[in-house]
Structure 1
Amino acid sequence: MAIDKPNSSDADDRQLFVELLNENHSRLFGFIYTHVLNLADAEDLFQQVAMVLWTKFDQFERGTEFGSWAMRVADFTIKNFMRGRRRSKVYFSDEVVQRIVDHQTVAPEGQVAQRADALRGCLKKLQATDFKLLEKCYGAESRIKDIARAEGRTAGALYTALSRIRRVLLACIERTLKAEASS
């Protein structure tokens, strides 16, 4: 059985796709990780998104922003993933997710990377108990009510604590970015 040699346009498409995906890897992976806060899930979702992007690459309009297109594809993939797991974990509401998508599809890649770096730094500054709580709620397969019971809290108290931690992280990120901008 003879194997046909790919024509040059197929090879060119593959090369272009690989280049565009590599250029947007950090931005896209950061976007996915922001939603799932679990490295293994983020890696799996990135692979799924990459496959969808490749299968739909013929629909990508050359000359437009590949990163924005990839983020929209990632958004749909993440939403499908979240629907399947919504009952067992805490996730952002669809409205919050959409605001993140809207912001990140128009934000320059450097700005997204700066915010991700700031978030990493701010996570390191969290109190150990707050960081452990984030890991339990966003990084494990446990349900909030089970975590609350193990912590000796109500689910409502746990949601309140998570909201407080997110506000602390947001304030830290904004301070960090403001300090970097003024230096």
Structure 2
Amino acid sequence: MTSFSKDTHEFVRLLTDHQELLRSYILSQMPNVPDVRDVLQEVNVVLCEKMGDFKLGTNFGAWACTVAYYTILDHRKKMKRSGFLIFNEELCLSLAADSGEKVPAALESKRRALKLCMGKMSPANRKLIEARYESHRGGMDKVVEETGRSRGSLRVTLSRLRASLRNCIRSTIAMEGGTP
């Protein structure tokens, strides 16, 4: 069994926590959605290779998006050499500049708001939401089994809880002065 250092564990946690941010950033830069998955995988490989360059306590999202930016540029060069139509370089730089700051900041704002809103929920409702979305717990069938409630009843409850969370997140972000 391989033993990882505390720093490696923290890096892996940060990398995992930022997958949505990275995917959103890459998606904002690329016209060909099927390539997003491949580029995200390549970004993850590069980030792991450059793990030693990252200083814990600094902004992982910004660092990871910078790595993603250069990986996207490499991908575009490969696509261009293969004869695929690529946006002109000026448009690509404009997309990168526009989304480079907004995507990470918006996702981080939503993440903070979600955490705050989850904290406002009753323990029973919070546990229900967490059980539904924890992949290792087995999904909806497992929640039905654990709660003894019908699938229909759970769907209605979860739908109401998600709507409540969505509203809470929007109002929290609006109070912070952001755009939900």
> TM-score, normalised to structure 1's length?
0.50
Report the equivalent of 1:70. Answer: 64
Report the CA distance between 1:67 and its aligned residue: 0.8
| Contact residue 62 and residue 104 of structure 2 kept, 8 A | no
Name the % identity.
26
1:82 aligns with 2:79: no
Q: Report the alpha carbon displacement of residue 44 of structure 1 after superposing the two structures with TM.
A: 1.0
What does residue 102 of structure 2 align with? 107
**Normalising by structure 2, what TM-score?**
0.51
1-side partners of 2:103 and 2:79: how far apart?
A: 30
Question: Which residue identity is paired with 2:7?
Answer: D
Distance, in Å, in 1 between the alignment partners of 2:97 and 2:32 is 22
One-letter code of the match for 1:92? F
Q: Structure 1 pair 102/47, CA: closer, same or farther in 2 (3 Å)?
A: same
Provide the aligned C-alpha RMSD in A: 3.0
Moved more, 47-56 or 89-98: 89-98
Most deviating of 94-103 and 68-77: 94-103
Structure having greater relative contact order (Cα 8 Å, sep ≥ 6): 1
Alpha-carbon separation, structure 2, partners of 1:27 and 1:38: 18
Give the 5 Å matches for 1:31-180: 31-86=25-80, 88-107=83-102, 109=104, 111=106
**1:26 touches 1:113 (CA, 8 Å); kept in 2?**
no
Deviant stretches of 4+, over 6 Å: none
Q: Is the 8 A contact 2:28 2:95 kept in 1?
A: no
Which runs of 5 or more structure 2 residues have no equivalent in the other structure?
A: 110-177
Count of residues paired in the alignment: 111
Contact 2:25/2:100, CA 8 A, preserved across alignment: no
How far does residue 55 in structure 1 lie from its aligned partner after superposition?
A: 0.8
Which digits, 9 at most, give the CA deviation of each residue in 1:17-55, with x for residues without a partner? 222122221121112123333343111111110010011
Structure 1: tracts of 5 or more residues without a match: 115-180
